[in-house]
Amino acid sequence: MRLAKYLAHGGIASRRAAEELIRAGRVRVGDEVVTDPARDVDESSGVQVDGRAVVPERVEVWMVNKPAGVVSTAKEPGRRRAVTELVSSSGRLYPVGRLDADSTGLILLTNDGELANRLTHPRYEVPKSYAVTLARPPSARDLERLRRGVKLEDGPTAPAEVRRHGERQIEITVREGRNRQVRRMAEAVANRVVALERVRFGPLELGALAPGAARRLSGREVGSLWEDGAR
């Protein structure tokens, strides 16, 4: 692992701030002062900052069923709860992507920045599925427009998978990560979302996880996320 990343995983500083610490000569590897942030190190290398040993955090990935009213941030300066407060962990966890406060369902938390990037960067096209209740029953034409892509103010959307599950209920799968995308897509076909729940993220399904509950992912599940984001 590169030295700057090792320091970031150890909770010393962000990756960029860690690079500044290294270039300032405050980091030793064994008995040597190292000023190259790209130096390869591991737990046996004896990394120290200002004379203190650095041990990286264990990687954690959690699935949370976010209730309405909870915000998708690491910290919430206002009165609303942050999604990180739903997880019993001492790690520095951050949401992978976001759900707006009124939306519910599956959101991931992790301290692995590389995994978060793999899951959210548009080029990897990781699918996310939502159970959506609309204000009015969509027509067959509306559904076909959503499938083909609709025009938004920030450009047309990519094709989506759309299935009807009831008079006003649909499931939509998108591979982009635009802000409030599903809600804006509904507005583009003269409709409105009244309830939105994320039910799948890549290979993971929300399943029977109760609202407000969280569980830590197994090694196999984390591995499946890497595979899904490796396209």
User: Rounded to whole angstroms, how far apart are CA atoms 35 and 16?
Assistant: 14
The three-point CA angle 99-163-131 to 5° equals 25
Q: Which residues are catalytic?
A: 100
User: Rounded to whole angstroms, how far apart are CA atoms 170 and 189?
Assistant: 14
CB neighbours of 83 closer than 8 A, spacing ≥ 6?
64, 66, 70, 71, 72, 73, 95, 107, 109
**Region for 22 from its dihedrals, namely left if φ exceeds 0, alpha if ψ lies in -120 to 50, beta otherwise:** alpha
